[in-house]
Structure 1
Amino acid sequence: MAIRVCAERTPRTAAVERLSAGDHACLGFDSGADRWALRAVFTADGLARGERVLLFGGLPAGEGPDAGLARLAAHGLAAGRAAAEGRLEVVTGASPGHDPAGGFDAAARTAYWSAATGDALDRGFAGLRAAGDMSWTGQDGLDAAELAAVTSYERDVTRLFDQIPLTGMCEYDRRAVPPRLFEQMLSLHPLAVLPEPGALHAERDGDVLRLAGDADLATRAAFEFAVTESGLAVIDLTGLAFIDASCARALLRLTGEVVLECTEMQARILALCGPRQDEGVVARVR
């Protein structure tokens, strides 16, 4: 078994904690509670990074920004203080570039992200982090031209994310958006966010296993089942937001020619949890 240290990177499926500047991600959620739990993590990470955080929509009609701040506060976030200091804003009503009566304007929304990110930088923030509801794409009456504009926007805006310190999470309520349309929108994003904090996602492609989310007490059984499957040549750990000592030791008990792709921090955790069962293990730093 070899350990290969990789640069920090976010895989195709990502825990919300792994999102960073330049990421354009898609979240499919099944309940309002799940969405706000993820928004709380998304917001806390942004505030910790010194970013300005904007949250668009996601509230029932008639509820204002204070209701959103209360939902964040229920997850232990000092949302009211962050909002008072201008670091966090919950935005209700029409989102940038979208007017329910007038349709969707991709150019206007793209221009808004550029201007809002520039404004955040001018105000001393490290960048901009935004999450916004896109579930209106599943409403009856959305014509083909407007849907084509949204599709083009989701595909093309990733280039903008590559150029400015902007982190974006587009939210689609799977109860409101038809499955086929959601899958189409998901395919236009470089990243798919795990639908709940603390989950573990394991995806095998031939002899390569890619892991995302958390490897801890709650997910340990699933983690150990995934990493001990036969025929694995590479286990990619870089998508994990967290790995505990017990799961790290499970990796160290593996034998044979298995490459562990990991971040610098994960490599240090593995080193602290040694020794390795396989005496022929060679650490390869790349």
Structure 2
Amino acid sequence: MAEAITVDQLAAGTHACLTFTDQDERFDLLAAFVGEGLDAGDRVVCFTDAVASGTLAAELSERSIAYDEATSRGELRVADCAAAWLQAGVPTAQRMLDTIAEELAAAAAGGFRGLRVTADMAWAGRPHAAAQELLRFERQLGSLAPARFLTTICQYDREIFDPVTLAFAAEVHNNAIAAQVYHEDALLRVCRQYRPPGVRIAGELDFRNITVLQQALAESIRLDHNLYLNLRQLHYTDAACAAEIVRAAAQLPPGRHMTVLCGPLVGKLLRLCGGVDIEQLRVSVAP
């Protein structure tokens, strides 16, 4: 069984899986994986399937990845699975492994510290895909490279794969990547955001969970120079929580700020709670 770790705990040479339902959280974790690899001197390759290559590139750029610069230097590549290993029809494990072996050779020839690969496994959910090829690929992937040179994250969408396949994914990977979660129940999820660093809140937040909000903000203030509060998936909050966000921003010292990404209703509530008067608070409203 894969041991759950946060993305910043991922060691070089690890074969990890990421199972997800929330696309925003998925892109955040992928951006952290890509950014840490680039910072460490790795070559990074992202194989995408359900998400178009251009869309993934835009999502990475939005999360502080210098996409154009990294691709122009050969440090980063985003490739469509269909172009990489599905062009000949039914995918085979050997074709996929050969593709990654080519990337390993390119990384070694380019003098990179290692190779980071993340692959969207959605192709395996297609009607023509052979389940045994997915099993063979996952089991043989770790033997392709010298120790600590190849670091991988295989992405599994819980909406596509059945529980049996997800259980297999947990079994064959060293680790399962997840965000650090401060609170999770049927109505509310509060977790760490990695790129840009801060806190992500989804669902419904009210005064009953104000302590969770305070703890999450306090940790981000401690860890991050400038913090980002991602409320784009927050459907409801109340005045008590909005006032707490404004208060936390107001207490930031000079030279630091809090950026809040939110919808129109949350943005309006922050303004009504005095957010417009706080120099350290920047509110970005998206439809």
TM-score range, shorter chain: 0.5 to 0.7
Q: Select which of 199, 205, 214 maps to 2:181.
A: 199
Instruction: Quote the residue 1:18 is aligned against.
Output: 9
For residues 133 and 81 of structure 2, the distance between their equivalents in structure 1, rounded to whole angstroms, comes to: 21
Q: Select which of 76, 80, 86 maps to 1:88.
A: 76
Amino acid of the structure 1 residue aligned with 2:64: G
What's the CA shift string for 1:122-156, capped at 9, x where partnerless?
Answer: 112111101011022233444xxx21121122123
Asked if 1:68 corresponds to 2:56, the answer is yes
Is this contact kept in 1: 2:90–2:128, CA < 8 A? no
Is this contact kept in 1: 2:17–2:155, CA < 8 A? yes
How many pairs are equivalent? 198
Distance 1:58 1:139, change over 3 A: closer
TM-score (structure 1 length as normaliser): 0.59
**Deviation (angstroms), 1:110:** 2.1
Distance 1:155 1:95, change over 3 A: farther
Amino acid of the structure 2 residue aligned with 1:135: A
**Deviation (angstroms), 1:117:** 1.4
Distance 1:92 1:109, change over 3 A: closer
Q: Select which of 31, 37, 41 maps to 1:46.
A: 37
Higher share in helix? 2
Is this contact kept in 1: 2:37–2:43, CA < 8 A? yes
Greater length-normalized contact order (CA 8 Å, ≥ 6 residues apart) = 1
For residues 111 and 88 of structure 2, the distance between their equivalents in structure 1, rounded to whole angstroms, comes to: 36
What's the CA shift string for 1:244-272, capped at 9, x where partnerless?
Answer: 79xxxxxxxxxxxxxxxxxxxxxxxxxxx
Is this contact kept in 1: 2:124–2:131, CA < 8 A? yes
* Structure 1 gap ranges (5+): 1-10, 202-212, 223-241, 246-286
Q: Please give the residue correspondences for 1:83-232 in structure 2 after superposition, counting only pairs within 5 Å.
A: 83-94=71-82, 96=84, 98-99=85-86, 102-142=89-129, 146-161=130-145, 163=147, 165-194=149-178, 196=179, 198-199=180-181
Distance 1:137 1:66, change over 3 A: closer
**Cα RMSD, aligned residues only:** 3.5
What's the CA shift string for 1:41-92, capped at 9, x where partnerless?
Answer: 00100001100111111554xx4x4432211121122222212222111112
Distance 1:111 1:57, change over 3 A: same
Using the aligned pairs only, state the percent identity.
28
Is this contact kept in 1: 2:49–2:121, CA < 8 A? no
For residues 46 and 83 of structure 1, the distance between their equivalents in structure 2, rounded to whole angstroms, comes to: 13
